[in-house]
A and B are shown apart, each in its own frame.
Chain A
């Protein structure tokens, strides 16, 4: 579909949550890296599903079950097309990026990682792309190795050839950093990892939101992402994987839907993707995810990306004017997505967030589930403003004004 001219002021009207006053002020929602707001189209899709089509999927012969199954599977096809998967059977529904990563760590990792093997991750990772690998490494007696980062929060890849070796089984890396917004050169690492025969999973929790993802062009073996950060309901996520890897993997959880035949001592598994979808899935969530992808496709990723970049450039410029401001992450716009992590003087990020909240401005304060990144920069936490398609320059102006209030109280 042809995208119309990108206008965030028109787009904002699609999001009912943005229309409210918080503590008497209009809401400036700048916590998008945590989760996005939902457009009316997604809310309508959820309502329509529950009002008309609600039933369990792949089980009943009756009409409602047929409709629920169609909605659930059509959504899978939409999301598959969105990331350019070869086939929708490679799209596994999960409850989010975290579950997708854990699924691979357990269902692939336990069978393929042995004592003395190595798993390579990076210091930039979210805890959900560190802890599952620590658990796996401990259970298997494997070693966890790290790609280090420089003072702008970018991977140091000079020693990549020694970090990767014939013992490396798995490489788990983020496409875009949630803590700093760094857009990582994943392709280079994927190619190098494949040269030593390692399997690569990309954490796309932020990457799927802020870049145009083509899993075939990217060349990774798995790509994990969440729906709720890209306009879909909470509790939705995807694990995309190459068919040949998914085929030979053990199931992650046992139960209904994922079996073919169950006998007393053993069972056979359902075909992809159902092998990894035990139990009644989040059907409404999947339907909502499909509606979110339709909504984003209608607007067009090119417009969204260009808008986010312009807003990011404006925000970085305005924030640089504030005395005592310390912005973390890459200086170059090309290497940064719509996330700004910062500290201001000796005001603790938690205090910054409270002061901004009283003015209706929502930012995140804390370690952003990236304690290794915080440690690297010698801070315990930062404040983080993150943008999405519906944010406007006025949101940035109000953030800057709010930070003035922080400086006044703590100055």
Chain B
């Protein structure tokens, strides 16, 4: 018996904004004077990033990354870094939560203007095996924030 399933739309996944960030990633460089660095990899596909933050007081003064991977993982982390500059640690934590909500299908989160360009990644939520790619940078961010709060910075 032939079985059918819902067909996700490629056009909702590969938006121009995503491909543009993939080709021209923002803040992709080693960060001088970083206060925290988190390495995060997805061994399934080889996506890999090192997220580097310079934190001053309670604020992310600068966010950069280096790494490689698919368009979704690289665009997501690129977009994320543009939003992190000058944010408080609490705001960064909220951003990570909202983005994760959007990836898990939360329609309200997808309308949240604080997510900026990241809203272009909403289509990823329709491709369950790719959600991990979109979350790679945010997983690193949450790890960094946890480290920062517990005071284990290098």
Contact = CB atoms under 8 A, between A and B. Distances in A.
A365 interface: yes
Interface in A358-411: 358, 365-367, 371, 374, 380-381, 405, 409-410
Interface of B is mostly: loop
B69 interface: yes
A22 B19 contact: no
Interface residues of B, number: 27
A365 B4 contact: no
B2 A351 contact: no
Interface stretch (A32-40, A61-69, A231-239, A342-350): A342-350
A362 to B, nearest CB: 12
B10 A358 contact: yes
Interface in B5-58: 5-8, 10, 13-14, 19, 23, 44-48
Nearest to A382: B46
A27 to B, nearest CB: 10
B3 interface: yes
Contacts of B10: 354-355, 358, 405, 409
Contacts of A365: 45
A351 B14 CA distance: 9
Given A350-B69, A409-B10, A410-B19, A21 B45 contact: no
B2 A21 contact: yes
Nearest to B68: A380
B5 A22 contact: yes
Contact of A348 (B4, B5, B8, B69): B69
A349 B73 CA distance: 13
B23 to A, nearest CB: 7
B3 A350 contact: no
A23 B5 contact: yes
A19 interface: yes
A366 B45 contact: yes
Contact of B7 (A23, A348, A351, A381): A23
A268 interface: no
Interface of A is mostly: mixed
A20 interface: yes
Nearest to A19: B2
Contact of B2 (A20, A23, A366, A410): A20
A374 B3 contact: no
A24 interface: yes
Contact of A20 (B3, B48, B129): B3
A18 to B, nearest CB: 11
A371 B46 CA distance: 9
Contacts of B2: 19-21
A222 B97 CA distance: 52
B45 A350 contact: yes
B71 A351 contact: yes
Nearest to B7: A23
A365 B129 CA distance: 12
Interface string A1-31: 0000000000000000001111110000000
B133 interface: yes
B71 A348 contact: yes
Contacts of B14: 351, 355, 409
A404 to B, nearest CB: 13
A381 B68 CA distance: 10
Interface in B76-110: none
17 contacts: A20-B1, A21-B4, A23-B7, A348-B70, A349-B45, A349-B70, A350-B45, A351-B70, A354-B10, A354-B13, A354-B129, A355-B10, A380-B46, A380-B68, A409-B10, A409-B19, A410-B71
Interface of A: 19-24, 346-351, 354-355, 358, 365-367, 371, 374, 380-381, 405, 409-410
List of 3 A-B pairs having minimum Cβ-Cβ separation, nearest first: A350-B70, A348-B70, A23-B7
